[in-house]
Amino acid sequence: MRVLGIETSCDETGVALYDSERGLLADALYSQVAMHAEYGGVVPELASRDHVRKLVPLIREVLAKANLTSKDVDGIAYTEGPGLIGALLVGASVARSLAFAWNVPAVGVHHMEGHLLAPMLADDKPDYPYVALLVSGGHTQLFDVQGLGQYQLLGESLDDAAGEAFDKTAKLMGLGYPGGAVLAKKAEAGRAGVYTFPRPMIDRPNCDFSFSGLKTAALLAWQDSDRSEQAIADIAHAFQLAVVETLVKKCQRALKQTGRKRLVIAGGVSANLELRTQLDIMLKKRSGKAYFPPLKYCTDNGAMIAYAGCQRLLRGEQMDLGISARARWPMVELQ
């Protein structure tokens, strides 16, 4: 089965074509980061308009890359939610219209399920069951994954997501938007021990997270610093270390509670090299293994939606002609 995947949940327009037998055939991605950087964050109306402008040309580009036509597409998957409602409606409207015109089934995909399944696009794929850490700009959650659609929530952030805390901390130090990746790069030049930030909630016997206090600690350190490049690097180093150690500790607890040996890490923050390194070390000590998406599929993309949609369509799932989009959509509802 060949499935066209469409991702328009926020500020990136992603399109991909996935074949259930041959794997990923082609994909394309357009980022709106440069446009939104001028405003210091995503402007929803501008995001929606840009999706309208770029989506159809990207679909044509992907079909051309795969040397296929619309007649070769067996199904369409699109991000139904969660996300910016206007942006979601662009993808949903185009997907449903094409499915009707091409006479193929369509299915709405949960954005975070797409991230959760993104490691399946790598050569080294995990087997079920496993623990999954979804860590991005909008979500920090731990799930026990027993199979497709079988997700038990183990813990989540009670305030800021990890990626959100990265971006906000970078912004308060004047590193621009989005600043999370810049802050991680600055951390490489930071000196260990200059600053020590709290590891929120690691002493509590659960798998929940909290990063708002850590963000405040970084702000206070920045206000008391000399604002030099070295100060930025030192604060970035201490901040990243606190986030990484907190995530690793909670993952370790989730693995112990479930008895799992496999850990899947997905979402934008899964591209953080320090996090990857420390999770690999922790899993090896437990005789387990960590699985990550390919770096290009850590952030929002059409490939993960095409893959997730393909799995759903292969199970016989499909939607009616109604255009459906959800700004909020808890993953536990996928049961």
Task: Write out pLDDT tens, residues 236-254.
Answer: 999 999 999 999 999 999 9
Summarize the confidence of residues 198-202 as an average pLDDT: 89
The pLDDT, as a whole number, for residue 203 is: 86
CA distance linking residue 200 with residue 246, whole number of Å: 7
Tell me whether residue 194 is annotated as binding: no
The pLDDT, as a whole number, for residue 322 is: 86
**pLDDT surpasses 90 at 178:** no
**pLDDT surpasses 70 at 7:** yes
How confident is the prediction for the chain on average, in pLDDT?
95
User: What are the C-alpha distances in Å from 303 to residues 79, 192, 196, 207, 278?
Assistant: 11, 38, 39, 29, 27
Tell me whether residue 124 is annotated as binding: no
CA 105 remoteness from chain centre: 26
200 preceded by cis ω (within 30°)? no
Nearest by Cα to 302 from 109, 13, 83: 13
Give the DSSP per-residue string, 129-194.
SEEEEEESSS-EEEEEEEETTEEEEEEEBSSS-HHHHHHHHHHHTT--SS-HHHHHHHHTTPPTTS
pLDDT tier, 190 (very low <50, low <70, confident <90, very high otherwise): very high
The pLDDT, as a whole number, for residue 335 is: 64
Summarize the confidence of residues 203-226 as an average pLDDT: 93
Alpha-carbon torsion, ordered 217, 155, 142, 150, to 10 deg:
-160
The strand pair at 140-147 and 130-135 is best described as antiparallel
Judge whether 293 and 119 are in contact, CB under 8 Å.
Answer: yes
pLDDT tier, 331 (very low <50, low <70, confident <90, very high otherwise): confident
Tell me whether residue 180 is annotated as binding: yes
Tell me whether residue 111 is annotated as binding: yes
Tell me whether residue 300 is annotated as binding: yes
CA distance linking residue 205 with residue 291, whole number of Å: 25
Tell me whether residue 83 is annotated as binding: no
pLDDT tier, 40 (very low <50, low <70, confident <90, very high otherwise): confident
Tell me whether residue 167 is annotated as binding: yes
pTM of the predicted structure, to 2 decimals: 0.93
**pLDDT surpasses 70 at 289:** yes
CA distance linking residue 190 with residue 193, whole number of Å: 9
The pLDDT, as a whole number, for residue 212 is: 86
Summarize the confidence of residues 269-287 as an average pLDDT: 95
Summarize the confidence of residues 56-77 as an average pLDDT: 98
Tell me whether residue 138 is annotated as binding: yes
The strand pair at 150-156 and 140-147 is best described as antiparallel
Tell me whether residue 90 is annotated as binding: no
For the chain, domains (ranges, CATH) are: 2-117+297-333 (3.30.420.40), 128-292 (3.30.420.40)
The pLDDT, as a whole number, for residue 177 is: 82
The pLDDT, as a whole number, for residue 50 is: 98
Residues whose CB is less than 8 angstroms from the CB of residue 35 and which lie 6 or more positions away in sequence, other chains included:
46, 50
CA distance linking residue 300 with residue 14, whole number of Å: 7
